[in-house]
Amino acid sequence: MSNPEPVAAPAQRRITNCHAHTFTHEHSPDRFVPWPVGPLIEFGPFRRTFIALAHRFSNKNRGTVERYAEIVETSYAIGQAGVFEKLRGSYPDGTRFVVLPMDMTLMNAGHVRKSIDEQHEELAELRDKLPDLVIPFAAVDPRHGEAVVTKTIALLEGKRFRGIKLYPPTGYHPNDPVLWPLYAYAEEHGVPVLTHCSRPASVQYRGEPTPEMRRNPSGGDPFPDGRFDLLTRFTDPDAYRPILERYPELRLCLAHFGGAGDWNSYLKHPWDAETDNSKTKSWLAKILDMIRSGRYPNLWTDIAYTLFADDEYAYLLKVLLSDERILARTLYGSDFYVVESAMLEERRRAVHVRAVLGEDVFWLIAETNPAAFLGEPLQRSTEAGEEEESPKFPPQV
- Whether 190 has a pLDDT exceeding 80, the answer reads yes
Q: Would you call the peptide bond into 337 cis, given omega within 30 degrees of 0 as the criterion?
A: yes
Its CATH architecture, for the domain 16-37+77-389, is Alpha-Beta Barrel (3.20)
Q: Residue 343: its pLDDT value, please?
A: 41
- Whether 139 has a pLDDT exceeding 70, the answer reads yes
| Average pLDDT estimate for 149-161 | 98
pLDDT in tens, 81-134: 999 998 998 899 999 999 999 999 999 988 999 999 999 999 999 999 999 999
Q: Residue 220: its pLDDT value, please?
A: 81
Q: Which of 342, 336, 339, 337 is CA-nearest to residue 55?
A: 342
Contact present, 298 and 251 (Cβ < 8 Å): yes
Write down the number of H helices and E strands in the chain: 17, 10
pLDDT in tens, 304-347: 999 988 889 999 999 999 999 999 999 999 998 776 543 447 88
Q: Can you tell me the distance from the alpha carbon of 203 to that of 206, in angstroms, rounded to the nearest whole number?
A: 9
Q: Residue 235: its pLDDT value, please?
A: 96
Task: Please give the model's pTM, rounded to 2 decimal places.
Answer: 0.86
